[in-house]
Structure 1
Amino acid sequence: MPVLIMGGYFAFRGMAPFGSSSILTVDLGQQYVDFFAYFRHSVLSHPSSLLYSFSKGLGGEMFGTNAYYLFSPLNFLLLPFSGASLTTGIVLLLLLKYGLASLSFAWLLQREKVQVKGRLVAFSTAYALMGWMIANQLNLLWLDALFLLPIVIAGVLQISRKQGFKLFIYSMALTIMDNYYMAWMIALFAFLFFIWQISRYSNPLKQQLKILGQFVLAGISAAMLAAWALLPTIYALLQSKGTYTETQLKFHFEYAPWKMLAKLVPGAFDFSQMPSGQPNIYVGALCLLGALLYFCCYHDRWQAKVSAGLISIFMIISFCWPPFDLLWHLGQYPVWYPSRFSFVWCFWVIWLAATTLTPEFQLKIRTAIAALALTIIFTVALLIVQQHVSYIQPAQVFMATGFSLVAICLLTISRRQSPRLIDCLFCFLIVVDVTTNAYVSLNQISYVSQAEYGNYTTALNQAIKKVKHKNRGFYRVGKNFMRTKDDPFQSDFYSADHFGSTMEPNISHFMGALGNPAGDGYVTYTNGTKVTDALLNFRYYLAARNNGYSGDNLVLPLTSTRPDWQHTKTVAQTKLVNIKENKEQLPVAFAANRDIINFRSLTLDPLAYQSQIFQTLAGRGNQPTFFQVQNFDHVDFNNVNDAHQITGTTFRRKNRKQRASVVLHFKPVDNDAYYLTLGPSVKSVAKISINDHPLHQYPTYRNTIVVNVADHAKNKNITVRLQLKKQTMWLQNVSLYKLNETSFNKCKRILQRSPLHVTSWHENRLSGWINVKHNQQLLMTTIPYNSGWHVKIDGQAVTGQKVLNTFLAVPITPGKHQVSFTFWPPLLTLGLTVSALTLAALIVADKKKILK
C-alpha cells in the first residue's frame, strides 16, 4: 500500500523515471546523492576507498563516515544506476524502504496477534507514512530504522516474556551495523518499551530486576557483536563530529511546547520546518485517538498505564527540552531536521492504538461524547495555535477535525454487524488520512530538476574521464564551477572539496586559514592561489567554457574566479570544459626542512600564512613574504562618504534612492598574480564585480577569503567595484596583494628537488621512492594526519608526526629510500576480534540452549 501511494505521488510529481523532475532536494541533492555515487565507484572499481578516500576533502578516513551514511545493505541496489540515472535508483530504493517499513510493522502486529487481516494494512500503512517518514524521506540513510525497529521490539517482547535473547541480540546488532546513530535512538526506546512491557506483568520485584539485567546484558552483547563497526566509528567520531558535543546544558524550552499541537494536523510541514521547528509526529486521527483510548478504555494493569504515561511525557518533553533532546541525539543538537527520534514516538502511538483498537473494540456512547467534546476543544486550540505557526492553515485544522469526527463515529459501530465493511472503512480512513498528510506535506517542498542534476553530472564525468585518460597518476583537480561540495565523490576524482557530518575540524580550520570557504562539516577549494595549487598537488584545473552555458541553459554554475589559470595551457577539452595543466605542482609527498615541525603562525592573514608555510618548508622562513601589499592607484567614491583607507571603513549611502559604490582602480606593473582579500562580512553588504564582470564566488564563508583579480595583466587597468547592497557597507579585510613570483619560484624549485616518485597507489596505500638531498630532513606530505596511517621507509616502520596540525610527515635522512604508506582504520582489528569472539560465544550459548 505505501509503495503504491508514494509511487503514485512520485509519478504525479514527474520525478525521474516518471518525468523531468528528480527526487533530489536539500541534503539528498547536496550531499547524499554524491555519497551514493561514491559507494558505487568504491564497490565496482576500488573497494579500498571504503576505508580511506582522497575524494573526501584533502583525504580522510571513510569507515566511520560510511557507518553513518552507507552501511545499509540495501545500497547495493543502486549499483546498476550510474551517472544521471542514479536518481531513478534512489526513487526505487526509497519506495523499497517504504514497503519494508510497512511489511515489518505488519509482521510484528501479526506475530503478536494484535491485529489481523485488513487492519494490518491500516496500521502498517500509518506506520510507513508517519509524519517523520514523510518529512525525512530525503534522509535515506535514516530510513532503515523504520523496518528494523519492529524486529528489535519483537526481541524486546521475547525477553520480557522470558522466551529468549537471540532475536533481540541479532536484530539490535544489525541495527547498530546499519546506522549507529539511529540505533542509539532505537536502543533508548527499546529500554523504555521494555520497562513498560515488564510493568504489564505482576512479577516480583526481584524477578523483574533479574529480567532487566538480562535485557541490559543482551544489549551489551549486541554492541559487542557489532564492535567491528562500532569501535572504529567511535574513534572516527572522536576525531570529527564528537568534537562538537555540547558540554553546557540549557534548561529552557527550545520553543513553546503548545506549538507541538500544530503537528497533529495533516500537512503540518514546510521548508521552514527543516532547519528548526517542532517534531513531525503525524500518524492519523484514528491512531492518535486509539493511543489516548489506551489510558481509559484498554484493560491493562494500572502500573502499565502509569509507566506508559510517564514514557509518553518523557518523550514529549524530549522534543523541546535541551537536556533530554541531547540525550536522544548523542550529545549534539541536530543541524537541521530537529527531533530526529520522533519516529519512535510515532511507533509508540501506533502501537498503543493497535493494542487498543482490536477488532472487538467498540466505543461506548459516554466515551464517544467525551471524545467529541475533546475534539471541539482541540479544534479551538488548533485555530489559536495556527495563528502562531507558519505551516498550517485553517483548512488543515478543519480537515483534522473531520478525520477525528469520522474516526469517533466509526469506533461507535459494532464490527459484528459487518466485519468486512467495518474493516474496509477502518483501513480506508487511515490510508486516506496519512496519504493526505503525505500529499500536502511534500507539496511544500521544491525539487532539483532532472536536467539540472543530469546535465551537470554528465559534463563533469566527461571532463574527469578526459583528465584520467591523459594522466593516471596521483594528483588533485581544481575547477571554477560546482553543483555540490561533494562533486569529487560524484565523479570519482581528488580535489579539496567536501561536505559531510564527519568532516575533521582541523581540515576545515586549515583550509579556512588558507583563504578558502570552510565551516563545520565542509571545505571548498574555490579560492586557491598559485602557492596553494603547488603545495596541495593541484595538477589540473577544469574551466567552464561559455561561462558554464550550453546554449541558453546554465549547466555549470560558476563559483570561482581564477585569472591565474587562464594563461595556463589547455591540454584537453570537452563541449563544456577546458582542461588546464599545471606541471609545476609539488607531488603528494616531498622532502622538506624540518623547521616546519615547530611552525607556529601568529597571523590571521591567509596570504601571509600561505607564504610562511611554503617558505618554512623550503628552509627560507626568514625571507620576506611572497605576497606584498599594494596600494590602489585611485578610488572612486560614488554616493558614499570619502575615506583615506578602504579596509575597516564603513561606507554610508548618501542618497538612499540612488546606487552607491566604491570603485578600486589599479594597474599591474608586471605580469605577476594579484590577489584581493575579502572579510566574511563583505559578502552580505557588497555586490562585487571585476572589470564590470560579476565576481564568481562560492557564497558561504565565515573567514577571510582570497580572490585572484589579475594575472598577466601588465599595464592593464583593473577595476574592482563594490556596490552597496544596503545603506551601509563595512569593508572588512579588503586589501590588495601582489605575488612575488620570483621568490615563490625559488622556494618551489628547492621543494621540487626531492619529490616522492609514486610507483603504485590505491586509496589506502601509496608507495614509491625518493632521493633526499642535503638539508632536507623531513618527508612532508599533503595527506591529512590520521593515526591509521602506517609509514615504512626502506621496510622499517617510522612514526608519523602531525605537521601544521593537519598533515602527516615523517623524519628521513639524505639518500635514496623506498617509502610506503598504508592506512588501516584505528580499532578495526580490535573490533573484528571482539565481534568474532562474541559471535563464537553466542553460537556456543545457542547450542547449549542458553539463548533459547
Structure 2
Amino acid sequence: MNKKLKHLLGYVAAFLIPIAIVSVAFAGRGIAPVGNHNLLVSDLATQYFPFFNFLRTQLQHGTISTYSFLFSLGDNTIPVYTYYLMSPLNLLVGLVKSAQIPLLMEALIMIKIGLISLSMVIFLRVHEHRFEWRQLVAGTAYGLCGFVAMYFYDFMWLEALMVLPFLTLAIDRLFTKGKWGWYTFTLLVGILLNYYMGYMLCVYSVIYFIYLLLLHQPQSMKFWAYVKTQGTCLAKYIVSSLLGGALSAFLLVPTLVGMLSTGKGSLSFVSFLPIVRFLPSDFLSLGVGATNFVGRLNHEPSLFVGSFFALGMLVFWLSPRITRHEKRASVWLVGAIFIGMLIATFDTIWHMFQMPAGFPFREVYMLSFVMIWLGYQAWQRGAFQSRTVVVQAAVVLAGLLTLGYGAAFLEIRIARAVHWSTPFYVTSYWNWIIALVFLGVTVGVILLSQKHPRWWPLILVVVAVEMGTNFWLALGGTNEYGNQPRFARHFQQSTRLVETARRNDRFTRLDVNNQLYTHSFNINYNQYNDSLLFNFYGVNSYTSSLNVHTHDALTNLGLYSRNERRVSVRGLTPVTAQLLSVGRQVDIDQQGHRTITENAQNTGLGYAVAAGSAHVRLVNQDVYGNLNRLFQAESNTKQTVFHPNRVQTLQKHQQGGQFKYRVRVTPTLSGPQYLDLQRVSPNQKLQLAVNGKRVASRYPQNGAELISLGKQSKPFVVTLMSNRKLTAQDWRTTFASYQPEPVQRFEQATKPYRLQVDNPRQLALHGDRFTAQVRTTKDRPVVLISIPYDQGWTITADGKPVKMKKALNGLSQVTLTPGHHRLAFHYQTPGFKVGLIISGLGLLGVLLASWMWKTPRTVRRNKKW
C-alpha cells in the first residue's frame, strides 16, 4: 500500500472508530438521531444551548457585540465567548435552526471525540517517527477515556484533549532541537480555545519539561548541574512560554478583568489547605462503570483508560526492557499529576486557584494521556512479550480494583454512620466483576497476540468494546434525557408566544414564567438563560462570568440566587420591579395558554430620582431595610413601605440537620405579605405552607429571595423548613407587610422622568452602544440606571462626558443638571486596549526571538521532528 495512502486511511480510521463507538452507545440509550432522546441535561440545557443560540443570532446578523442586555441586566460578553464559545466548530451553529441545536451539539461532541483520537495517533506517529496500525488502539482509548465519558457535557473542555498531544510534541521539539516556534503557537492555540484549560496546559508544560530534564539527565551528573548545562534550552522554554501568553493577551486580559468582576474573584483559604481530596476508593475507576450520569458533578478522578493501557503502564514500570532512568522520569510525570489531584493545595492551583463547583479533577485527562502513552511505549518496545511481567501487572491491577471497591464499601458506610456526605457515587458493585472480566480477557488477548502477532487486532476489538461499555454505563443512571420532538415543538411554540409578548416601542424587562418550555425537559429547569433563547430583556442569568455587581445588588434587594453564578427574577417586589423596569409578567402554562400582566409605568432603562439616592448603600441580609432605604431615598420621603410583622413560634421540631417550624404571623398592615428566606440554605428543597396550603413555587429549591405569601388581613400560620436554628432576631426580620399606595404614587409621579432608549430593539444585538433621553429637575438630579456598574462604560450628556458612578452596591447612576438630556452610551471592554498592546509586544518579541535564535538552513532538510 502507498505510504501516504496508508497514513491517510489510518487517520480516517482514528477519527471514525471512536465516533462509531459513541454512536452505538448513544443508540443504546435512545439518543437522537437513532432514538427520540436528546442531551439537554446538566449544563448542556442550562448554559450551552442558550449560549449557542445567542451565538447563532449574532452570526446571522453579522455582529459580535461586546455587551449584551440579554444577560440579566446586561453584561460583558467577552468572558462568555472565551470560556464557552471559542471553538471554531461552534460556527456550525449558524447553519442550523434553533430547535435543531441540541442535535448539532451531539454531533459536535462526536466530532470532538474523533479529533481527540486522531490527535493521539498523530502524536504517536510523529513521536515514534512511523505509522503503525497499533496506534489506533491508543487513539481509541484516549478519545473515550474516563474524562471524556464523564465530562463531555461540558464539551468546551474537549479541545484541550486535542491540543495536549501537540503541545507535548512541541515541548519535545524545543528540548531536542531548540525549535521553539511550534511550542509558542500550540500554547497560544490552547489558551485561545479555552483560557481555563489553557492555564492547565501551562501547568502541564512545566511538569513535562521537568520530565524531559529527568529523562535526558546523564547518570554521572547531578540534576541541578545538568539543568545549568541546559541554560539556552531553559531560556527558550521560558521566553517562548511568555510569548505564547503575551500573544493571547488581546483576549486573555479582558477576560481576566471580566472574571475578576465575578463572584469568583475572591480566594478561599480553606481550598488551599493540604488535605487529601480522595481516598483509595478512587482505584475502582481504573475499571469500567466506576460512575455514571448521577455522579457527574461530584466524583473522584476518572482514571479509566481501559484495562490494556492500565496494564501497559504497570508493565512499563515492571519490565526489564525499560531502563531505570526512564522509569524514574515517568514516575515524576505520573506522580506530579496524581499528587496534584490528591492534595487540595495543588488541586486548587490546577483549577486556577478556585475549587471547582461540580465536575471536579478537570486535569485528570492529562494523566489519561500519559498512562496511554506509557502503555503504548511498553507495547511498542516488546515489554508485553514477558508472560511473567504481564501476569504480575494483571495481579497488581486486579488488586487495585479490588482495593477500590472494598474501600468504597467501607467509606460509604462510615460516612453514613457519622453523617458525612459521600463524594463518590458507585454505580454498582457488579461492575467490579465486569472490570475483572475485561482484565482477564485483555490478558488473554495479549498473550495470544504475543504467540501469534497477526492476532493483535483482537486487542483493538477488546479495547473498543471496553471503552464503549464504559461510555454506555456512564450515560446511565438517569431518566433526565430530553425528548427531542417534544422539545422542538415546545421551543417553536414558546418562541412565537414570547415574541408577540415583547414590547418593542419602549425598553422594558419581562418576567417570563414559561411552564410550556420548562416541561420540555426531564430535569429541574429554572429558566435562567431563556432571554438568550427567546430574545427578550429579563433579569435571570446563569453563567460562570456573571457580574458580581449584578449578583450583589439583586440579592441584597431580595431576588433569588443559589450562588454567585445565578440570579433570578423570583423575589421581585413592586419596588424592585420599578427599579429594574420589569413592566410585563408573561405566564405561559403547560398547555401553551398565555397571560400577560402589565405595569405600563415600568418602562425605560432608569429614571431620575432625588439626590439622596446617590448615597444609598445596601446592607447584607437586611432586605426589608434595603427596600425601605431605597424607596425613601429615591422619593425623598421618610415613608416606610415594608413593615415587620410579629411572629409567635407554635412548634419547633428538629429532623436530623433540618428544623421544622410552625409559626403564627400577625400582620402589621392588611394586604400583601412577604417572607425573607435569606438565612435558609439556597440548596434546600422548598417546603412552605400558609394556613396549611402549600405555597407554589417556580423553582423546587430555596434561594436568597423574598417569597410572596399573598394578601392577609388576619393572623396566619406558616410552616417552613430551615437548615439552621432560627433566632429571635431572625424572626424579627423574616416576615413583613407591604404598603403599596406610596409606591404606586411614586411610580405615577416618576413617569415623565424615565430614561427612554431611542431604539430599544437594537440592544439585543448592539448592547455596547446606544442613545437615550431623560428629563431631570432640581429635585430629581440623579438618574438611577438599571445597568450593572462597569468601568467599561463611557457616557456623554448632550455631547459632554459625564461620570458613571456606582449605585446601590452594584447598579449605575449619573448626576445631571436640570433639563432634557440626550445621553450616549458606549462600552469599551475593560482591558482590551492593554491586552492588544501586550499582544503587539508579544508579536515583536516573536520577531526578535526569531532573529536572535535563527538557525542556519542546511542544504538537506531533516524530515523528522
For Structure 1 versus Structure 2, the TM-score category normalised by the shorter chain is 0.7 to 0.9
Decide whether aligned partners of structure 1 residues 292 and 360 sit closer, same or farther in structure 2, where only a CA change above 3 A counts. Answer: closer
Letter in 1 for 2:601: E
Please give the secondary structure, in 2, of the residue aligned with 1:783: coil
CA distance in 2, matches of 1:603, 1:68: 30
Q: How does 1:300-339 map to 2 (within 5 A)?
A: 302-339=324-361
Note if contact 1:690-1:719 (Cα within 8 Å) is conserved in structure 2.
no
Note if contact 1:457-1:491 (Cα within 8 Å) is conserved in structure 2.
no
Please give the secondary structure, in 1, of the residue aligned with 2:699: coil
Decide whether aligned partners of structure 1 residues 811 and 313 sit closer, same or farther in structure 2, where only a CA change above 3 A counts. Answer: same
- Which residue number corresponds to residue 556 of structure 1? none
Q: Does 1:839 align with 2:843?
A: yes
- Deviation sequence 1:490-521 (CA, Å, 0-9, x none): 22221111111122233222222222211321
Decide whether aligned partners of structure 1 residues 243 and 701 sit closer, same or farther in structure 2, where only a CA change above 3 A counts. Answer: farther
Segment of structure 1 superposing worse, 79-88 or 386-395? 386-395
Q: Does 1:497 align with 2:540?
A: yes
- Which residue number corresponds to residue 580 of structure 1? 597
CA distance in 2, matches of 1:478, 1:303: 65
Please give the secondary structure, in 2, of the residue aligned with 1:474: coil
Residue 625 of structure 1, aligned match among 637, 640, 664: 640
CA distance in 2, matches of 1:813, 1:289: 77
- Displacement of 1:407 in angstroms is 3.2
Please give the secondary structure, in 2, of the residue aligned with 1:116: coil
Note if contact 2:613-2:634 (Cα within 8 Å) is conserved in structure 1.
yes
Q: Does 1:522 align with 2:557?
A: no
Q: How does 1:99-178 map to 2 (within 5 A)?
A: 99-113=114-128, 116-178=131-193
Note if contact 2:246-2:839 (Cα within 8 Å) is conserved in structure 1.
yes
- Displacement of 1:124 in angstroms is 0.2
Superposed CA RMSD in Å reads: 3.2
- Which residue number corresponds to residue 701 of structure 2? 700
- Which residue number corresponds to residue 627 of structure 2? 610
Residue 508 of structure 1, aligned match among 551, 554, 559: 551
- Which residue number corresponds to residue 457 of structure 1? 491
Identity %: 21
Residue 575 of structure 2, aligned match among 507, 531, 543: 531
Segment of structure 1 superposing worse, 748-757 or 144-153? 748-757
Letter in 1 for 2:303: I
Decide whether aligned partners of structure 1 residues 725 and 189 sit closer, same or farther in structure 2, where only a CA change above 3 A counts. Answer: closer
Residue 441 of structure 2, aligned match among 392, 403, 406: 406
Please give the secondary structure, in 1, of the residue aligned with 2:758: strand
Letter in 2 for 1:780: L
CA distance in 1, matches of 2:579, 2:822: 22
Decide whether aligned partners of structure 1 residues 650 and 54 sit closer, same or farther in structure 2, where only a CA change above 3 A counts. Answer: farther
- Displacement of 1:844 in angstroms is 6.8
Letter in 1 for 2:512: K
CA distance in 2, matches of 1:488, 1:746: 31
Decide whether aligned partners of structure 1 residues 378 and 674 sit closer, same or farther in structure 2, where only a CA change above 3 A counts. Answer: closer
Note if contact 2:278-2:300 (Cα within 8 Å) is conserved in structure 1.
no
Segment of structure 1 superposing worse, 143-152 or 441-450? 441-450
Note if contact 1:361-1:411 (Cα within 8 Å) is conserved in structure 2.
no
Decide whether aligned partners of structure 1 residues 383 and 18 sit closer, same or farther in structure 2, where only a CA change above 3 A counts. Answer: closer
Decide whether aligned partners of structure 1 residues 425 and 458 sit closer, same or farther in structure 2, where only a CA change above 3 A counts. Answer: same
- Deviation sequence 1:186-218 (CA, Å, 0-9, x none): 111122122212333357543323212211211
Please give the secondary structure, in 1, of the residue aligned with 2:787: strand
- Which residue number corresponds to residue 549 of structure 1? 590
- Displacement of 1:679 in angstroms is 5.4
- Displacement of 1:240 in angstroms is 1.0
Residue 228 of structure 2, aligned match among 175, 191, 206: 206
- Which residue number corresponds to residue 284 of structure 1? 306
- Displacement of 1:24 in angstroms is 1.9
Q: Does 1:431 align with 2:464?
A: yes
Letter in 2 for 1:421: W
Letter in 2 for 1:489: L
Please give the secondary structure, in 2, of the residue aligned with 1:269: coil
CA distance in 1, matches of 2:155, 2:461: 28
- Displacement of 1:746 in angstroms is 3.2
Note if contact 2:680-2:723 (Cα within 8 Å) is conserved in structure 1.
no
Note if contact 1:680-1:701 (Cα within 8 Å) is conserved in structure 2.
no
CA distance in 1, matches of 2:479, 2:204: 33
- Displacement of 1:662 in angstroms is 6.2
- Displacement of 1:371 in angstroms is 2.9
Q: Does 1:187 align with 2:202?
A: yes
Letter in 2 for 1:438: F
CA distance in 1, matches of 2:431, 2:237: 43
Note if contact 1:502-1:521 (Cα within 8 Å) is conserved in structure 2.
yes
CA distance in 1, matches of 2:734, 2:267: 37
Letter in 2 for 1:132: F
- Displacement of 1:226 in angstroms is 0.7
| TM score, norm. by length of structure 1 | 0.86
- Deviation sequence 1:121-163 (CA, Å, 0-9, x none): 1110100000010000101111111112112112111111125
Note if contact 2:587-2:595 (Cα within 8 Å) is conserved in structure 1.
yes
- Deviation sequence 1:822-843 (CA, Å, 0-9, x none): 1111111221233244335535
- Which residue number corresponds to residue 564 of structure 1? none
Segment of structure 1 superposing worse, 17-26 or 368-377? 368-377
Note if contact 1:192-1:311 (Cα within 8 Å) is conserved in structure 2.
yes
- Which residue number corresponds to residue 403 of structure 2? 381
Q: Does 1:752 align with 2:795?
A: no
Note if contact 2:661-2:719 (Cα within 8 Å) is conserved in structure 1.
yes
Note if contact 1:680-1:704 (Cα within 8 Å) is conserved in structure 2.
no
The total of aligned residue pairs comes to: 794
- Which residue number corresponds to residue 37 of structure 2? 21
Q: Does 1:69 align with 2:89?
A: no
CA distance in 2, matches of 1:219, 1:756: 49
CA distance in 1, matches of 2:73, 2:723: 40
- Displacement of 1:744 in angstroms is 1.5
- Displacement of 1:116 in angstroms is 3.4
Q: Does 1:850 align with 2:854?
A: yes
Letter in 2 for 1:220: L
- Displacement of 1:701 in angstroms is 3.5
User: What 5-or-longer segments of structure 2 have no aligned partner?
Assistant: 1-16, 219-225, 413-424, 519-524, 858-865
- Displacement of 1:532 in angstroms is 1.4
CA distance in 2, matches of 1:167, 1:806: 44
- Displacement of 1:300 in angstroms is 5.4
